[in-house]
Amino acid sequence: MSLDLVLITGMSGSGKSVALHALEDAGYYCVDNLPPELLTPFVALQRQQQTARVAIAMDVRSGVSLPLVPQQLDGLRREGVSLRSLFLDSTTDALLRRFSETRRRHPLSRQEGRTDVPDQQRVLTQAIELERELLADLRDGADVIDTSIIRPAQLQSYIKTLVSAPESTLTLVFESFAFKRGVPLDADFVFDVRMLPNPHYVSTLRPLTGRDEPVIDWLREHDNVARMYADIEQFLERWLDALARDHRSYVTVAIGCTGGQHRSVFLVEQLARAFGVKWGALKRHRELDGG
């Protein structure tokens, strides 16, 4: 029996526990904070016991053992393990806010006490930046999910959608977003469509979204919208085969407008429909997806 293994890593406070709970709900046998030294023997045991799906979370608490992980993952892939590596990331500001709100200590922070005073904030910021350095190699080899401004329920939905996609082919994740709330950290490609005609200034269209027929019809009347779509489509068609040959599992294409409601949503819907014919295609609407 083939083993389906999901490795969850990422920044402290980025939602790894939420992701692990989502995988547990999806039927995975989950283990939190497994030391890297135990990864290979643990997987061997699960294969011996014919476990179908396993999810493992690792974080910076593993310290000096983390550099072992990329080589171990390569070895597991050569042994036929179906492996997906997910890295949860957040902006430093978001992580600072979460640690301050929960009064948790960062695992690399050496100071006890509150995290909402200037000295403690400085120490916490230094700990977060050190953690980024320690986890850089794991991030480079993983599919990144930006959890900075999404709700736990959204994260659970994203995780379940990602692991349900076919692993044998490249999967495109088309994501709409609002520039006023920041560019997603997980984007491989970012397209700015704020120069396109904006339905926000049409009173009857303002409360609607790019998934609604009146907005779709209005945007299709504008040549610049069609030209932008064609440019993005041409760019992706030119490079997707090369990305697939590079053994990429996921490529996230982020399309941003001012509010993340009309133009970016419209283009994400159209592109996902078109590219879903040949590739796996998932959709995210960061500002619309319910929590």
Q: Which residues contribute to the annotated binding site for GTP? A: 59-62
Q: Is the Cβ–Cβ distance between 251 and 240 less than 8 Å? A: yes
Nearest to 98 by CA among 90, 109, 88: 90
What residue type is assigned to position 167 of the chain? Answer: E
Q: Is the Cβ–Cβ distance between 81 and 33 less than 8 Å? A: no
The Cα 81–Cα 2 span in angstroms is 7
Binding residues for ATP: 10-17
Binding residues: 10-17, 59-62
Beta strand extents in the chain (DSSP E only): 4-10, 29-32, 53-57, 82-89, 143-146, 171-178, 189-192, 250-257, 280-285
Buried b (16+ CB within 10 A) or exposed e, 113-130: eebeeeebeebbbebbee
Beta-strand pair 29-32/53-57: parallel
- Partner residues linked to 191 by β-bridges: 255
